[in-house]
A = this chain, B = another copy of it.
Amino acid sequence: MPMTTTAAQRFQALLSRGARMGPRAMPRSGPTIYKFGAGNPDPGSFPYQELVQAMADVMELDGAHALSYGSAHGYDGLRDLVVEKYRLLEGLQTSRDNILIANGSNQAIALVVGAFVDEGDPVICEAPTYMASIQTLRRHGADLIGIEVDGEGMRTDLVAERLGELKRSGRQCKLIYTIAQFQNPAGPTLSERRRRELVELAREHNVMILEDDAYGELRYEGQAPPSIFSLDPDGLVCRTGTLSKILGPGVRIGWVVAPPALVPYLSAFNFGGGVAPLTSRVCTFYLRAHLQPHVAELVDIYRAKRDAMLDELERGLADTDASWSRPEGGFFIWLKLPSRTDLQRLSQLAAAAGVGYNPGPIFMANGGGEEYIRLAYSFEAPAEIREGTRLLCRAIKGARTTA
């Protein structure tokens, strides 16, 4: 390709509104030894050989379908498995017609956003919230309104206020995006009282709710409140889920649970060829026999990791005014740094110690968050979690300004 730099930039003038936002922002991290940044599952937990066996079974029993175009709504066997999962783990009654398979949870979220959000539409989300969803919503033109999160989850009193303001100014909020279980990154689980309030608000203001539930199966203690989806009598809630945390992100399988009439509208934004006919079957064949024991095993693995990190934070930072979440499940701890922490200095010291983390501001739709960092305890083994957390605590203390 003979091409000059100038020539290569000719496309710039032609980019769409969404593309003019630029390439996707990625949290930068240098080479780290202790990877507490991204929410990566533990590769030690992946069922490698069992998936090879599942692949062999799929090829023998259903190979032609696995390698051909699939249905726009995904492989029915997997849709049925998702239905069964909700029945087993939550007693939630859904049917195949509620389930749309997607290429992972992020794409599931993007399908819902694509179906509802036009340029400039107000969308309510938590502040902080999952950084990839901020980008997905923005790329679709959403005007994001971040709502404070406290120990009971998103503050529904503030949601009511914002919806009232929007109504008075003649603007239609399209979507309330919430991570109700082990809120990512802040940690709390939205209380049942607030879930009911949220459904009531959606009903009153005619707004869709998008309930992002990527970690719900991985609860280490306590009892889950009913899902927002299960509380909605009006077909105004879509819920997303994924195999990324309970099997492996590399299979790229997620789904939307939605009112059946909405499913074909969502799938229209998944352009062509059906969704993952091969990996859908491989995962389904494996999970049919192993779902509950595998999830039970993962709960033990990740609970021990969470406890290791909480323990070391307690040892390392108890004598400071730092505070942090104690999530009942999921992969993350949200740490409020001690007052008078020099953020630049912390970043240098942590990098020097080889400790990676995600800085708070990337989780904030409307700015702020500098005094927070998110720590993922999911990827490293417990010994490395302890060692890395000790080093991080030392870096945090070393970054305190004397002023």
Contact = CB atoms under 8 A, between A and B. Distances in A.
A214 to B, nearest CB: 11
B19 A116 contact: yes
A107 B107 CA distance: 12
A318 interface: no
B52 A56 contact: yes
A201 interface: no
A104 interface: yes
Given A106-B271, A265-B19, A278-B279, A14 B174 contact: yes
Nearest to A16: B118
A261 interface: yes
A273 B249 contact: yes
A17 interface: yes
Contact of A136 (B103, B272, B279): B272
A10 B14 CA distance: 37
Contacts of A107: 271-273
Interface string A353-382: 000000000000000000000000000000
Instruction: Kindly report how many copies of this chain are found in the complex they form together.
Output: 2
Contacts of A19: 114-116, 265, 268-269
Contact of A10 (B118, B234, B249): B234
Given A252-B276, A268-B139, A41 B68 contact: yes
A104 to B, nearest CB: 4
B268 A106 contact: no
Interface string A24-43: 10100000000000101101
Contact of A1 (B1, B67, B98, B172): B98
A235 to B, nearest CB: 4
A59 B65 contact: no
A16 B289 CA distance: 40
Interface string A143-172: 000000000000000000000000000001
A264 B41 contact: no
Given A7-B235, A264-B23, A15 B116 contact: yes
A267 B23 contact: yes
Contacts of A10: 206, 234-236
Nearest to A136: B271
A208 B7 CA distance: 12
Contacts of A67: 43, 46, 48, 51, 247-251
Contacts of A3: 233-235, 259
Contacts of A299: none
Interface of A: 1-3, 7-11, 13-19, 21-24, 26, 38, 40-41, 43, 46, 48-49, 51-52, 55-56, 59-60, 63-70, 72, 93-94, 98, 103-107, 109-110, 114-118, 121, 132, 135-136, 139-140, 172, 174, 206-208, 230, 232-236, 244, 247-252, 259-262, 264-265, 267-269, 271-279
11 contacts: A1-B230, A8-B259, A15-B115, A23-B267, A26-B72, A43-B63, A46-B63, A55-B55, A104-B272, A105-B272, A109-B271
Given A11-B236, A52-B59, A132-B271, 15 more contacts: A3-B234, A7-B234, A9-B261, A10-B235, A13-B206, A14-B172, A19-B269, A23-B265, A41-B68, A51-B67, A103-B252, A136-B272, A249-B273, A252-B276, A276-B279
